[in-house]
């Protein structure tokens, strides 16, 4: 039986839509990578080392988990960040993906891939596997022996969060690893990881990577929920709530203000146009008038020096309305979210009172939450959640802060974007302008260094 036949043989065991994935990619047997990888070039390919499968993933359940591990690197945007990533980043990615998959498929036959491949008595490798005899409903979560000793409190807490409904963030795991390297002189590069983490197999961030991620997202939506999902997380989601440290690069303020100003200007009216508004102005004069306060003081025998009155007034105000800002908080934006938050905060007076964070769904945050660094993300990216939000709330003016890898809009979404006034601020080391360029009335590049 060849490798592709083995993959199809996974389907009766898993009963999930992997057949859809296998129609998207070529399955290639190769010994050029140690385990497996998804190659996001013009024709996506799933590369698998048959020797590794024979030794470590010989059952349908283990093979399915190996494939899903690689699929989630694409789904969460890791494939665009693996090239040049530090060993700690690669380790963190695998920790979170393995924990998520174990919660999705907690049966021992599936979790066996991670339990057999990673030792329970070695730190930090034990973070990459579930507990022995693990029950996702068990409280408290049991820990490997190496985490039960004195001095391992932070690592023990992160491990129990990973395999509980609480969940752990990338930064939580990274901080534990940083302590391990600093205090013990450990080398994370010596810990074997599933998949190719050198970037050679994943390729560059091409449009096909975005298309593949979108297709994978569609497949994942049809998977069942875990018996006890992590708070606020569905199958296509990973991390929900987190905190980010805000930075405020000075160069972004002017550029983003100009972009928002262009979008705020009504269609067909030159930016900077003003309109007349009526109001009232308080006037103080020595001429007696209908001032109740002055009448009272006169009744007390005190002669007022000034009398107050209200006079109608006409004012010229900018002919603009506040713009809805959608901030991309997907996995590919990791590392620059703080600068994006700072840029939006600097333009708060021009922005709608609710800022919209988008990944595969839209989450609303207030200006106070934005300043506090509140981030809500599923990890993936889907422009369709933005267009649905715009249609539901009748958004006419919107600015998107993104790297452009957002997938394709639905026909209904195309109509929404075409009718609205849209600005796009492209950010990040690699950007793709093709998905949003047809609908952008204005666009800029933000340097967040």
Taken in order 65, 71, 76, 77, the sign of the CA dihedral is positive
* Model confidence pLDDT, tens digit, residues 409-418: 889 999 999 9
H/E stretch holding 411 reads helix 411-419
401-427: average pLDDT: 91
59-116 pLDDT, tens digit per residue, is 988 988 888 888 777 666 555 444 445 667 788 888 888 988 888 888 999 999 999 9
How high is the pLDDT of residue 208?
A: 41
Which residues, other chains included, contact 335 with Cβ-Cβ below 8 Å and sequence gap of 6+? Answer: none
Altogether, the residues listed in the chain come to a count of 449
**Mean pLDDT (the chain, rounded):** 75
Q: List residues bridging with 313 in a β-sheet.
A: 279
Helix (H) or strand (E) holding 160: helix 153-162
Question: 3.30.390.50, 3.90.930.12, 2.160.10.10, 3.40.50.410: which CATH number matches 250-266+321-445?
Answer: 3.40.50.410
Where do the domains of the chain lie?
A: 3-233, 250-266+321-445, 274-318
What mean pLDDT is predicted for residues 243-269?
A: 71
Contact present, 132 and 120 (Cβ < 8 Å): yes
C-alpha of 364 from chain center: 13
In this prediction the pTM is 0.51
Higher-pLDDT residue of 96 and 392 is 392
Please give the helix or strand (H or E) that residue 293 lies within, else none.
helix 292-299
Q: Per residue in 334-367, pLDDT tens?
A: 778 888 888 888 888 888 889 999 988 899 998 8
Distance of CA 306 to the CA centre of its chain: 60
Mean pLDDT of 200-204: 44
Decide: 387 and 361 in contact? Cβ < 8 Å. Answer: no
What pLDDT, on the 0 to 100 scale, is given for residue 422?
95
The answer to whether the bond into 124 is cis (omega within 30° of 0) is yes
* Residue 109 pLDDT: 92
- Give the model's pLDDT for residue 171: 75
Contacts of 304 (CB under 8 A, 6+ apart): 291, 293, 294, 297, 298
CA separation for the pair 329, 348 (Å, rounded)? 18
CA distance 406 to 400: 11
Task: Give ∠ CA 365-358-90 in degrees, rounded to 5.
Answer: 110
Q: In the beta sheet, which residues pair with residue 277?
A: 315
Which of these, 148, 152, 129, lies nearest to 140 by C-alpha position? 148
Q: pLDDT class for 228, splitting at 50, 70, 90?
A: very low
| Residues pairing with 36 in the sheet | 48
Nearest to 325 by CA among 307, 347, 351, 302: 351
What is the C-alpha to C-alpha distance for residues 362 and 343, in angstroms, rounded to an integer?
19
Is residue 383 classed as helix, strand or coil in its secondary structure? helix
Nearest to 360 by CA among 340, 332, 338: 332
Is the Cβ–Cβ distance between 93 and 73 less than 8 Å? Answer: yes
């Amino acid at each position: 039986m060849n490798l592709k036949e083995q993959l199809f043989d996974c389907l009766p065991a898993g009963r999930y839509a992997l057949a859809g994935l296998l129609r998207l990619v070529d399955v290639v047997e190769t010994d050029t990578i140690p385990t497996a990888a998804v190659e996001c070039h013009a024709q996506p390919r799933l590369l698998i080392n048959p020797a590794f499968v024979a030794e470590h993933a010989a059952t349908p359940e283990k093979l399915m988990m190996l494939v899903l591990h690689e699929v989630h690197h694409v789904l969460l945007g890791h494939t665009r960040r693996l090239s040049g990533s530090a060993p700690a980043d690669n380790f963190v990615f695998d920790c979170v993906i393995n924990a998520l998959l174990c919660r999705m498929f907690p049966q021992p036959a599936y979790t066996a891939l991670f339990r057999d491949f990673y030792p329970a008595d070695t730190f930090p490798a034990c973070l990459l596997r579930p507990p022995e005899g693990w029950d996702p409903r068990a409280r408290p979560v049991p820990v490997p022996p190496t985490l039960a000793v004195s001095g391992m409190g932070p690592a023990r807490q992160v491990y129990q969060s990973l395999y509980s409904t609480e969940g752990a963030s990338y930064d939580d795991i990274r901080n534990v690893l940083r302590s391990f390297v600093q205090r013990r002189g450990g080398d994370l590069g010596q810990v074997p990881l599933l998949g190719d983490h050198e970037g050679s197999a994943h390729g560059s961030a091409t449009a096909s990577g975005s298309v593949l991620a979108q297709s994978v997202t569609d497949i994942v939506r049809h998977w069942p929920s875990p018996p006890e999902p992590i708070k606020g997380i569905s199958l296509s989601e990973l991390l929900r709530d987190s905190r980010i440290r805000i930075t405020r690069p000075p160069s972004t303020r002017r550029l983003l203000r100009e972009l928002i100003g262009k979008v705020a200007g009504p269609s067909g009216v030159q930016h900077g146009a003003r309109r007349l508004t009526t109001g009232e102005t308080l006037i103080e004069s020595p001429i007696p008038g209908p001032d109740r306060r002055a009448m009272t003081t006169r009744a007390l025998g005190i002669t007022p020096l000034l009398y107050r009155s209200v006079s109608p007034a006409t004012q010229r105000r900018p002919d603009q309305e506040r713009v809805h800002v959608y901030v991309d908080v997907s996995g590919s934006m990791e590392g620059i979210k703080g600068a994006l938050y700072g840029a939006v905060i600097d333009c708060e007076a021009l922005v709608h009172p609710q800022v919209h964070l988008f990944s595969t769904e839209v989450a609303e945050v207030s200006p106070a939450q934005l300043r506090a660094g509140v981030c809500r993300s599923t990890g993936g990216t889907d422009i369709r959640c933005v267009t649905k939000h715009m249609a539901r709330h009748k958004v006419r003016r919107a600015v998107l802060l993104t790297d452009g890898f957002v997938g394709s809009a639905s026909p209904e979404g195309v109509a929404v974007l075409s009718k609205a006034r849209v600005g796009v601020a492209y950010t990040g080391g690699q950007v793709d302008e093709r998905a949003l360029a047809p609908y952008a009335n204005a666009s800029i590049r933000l340097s967040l260094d």
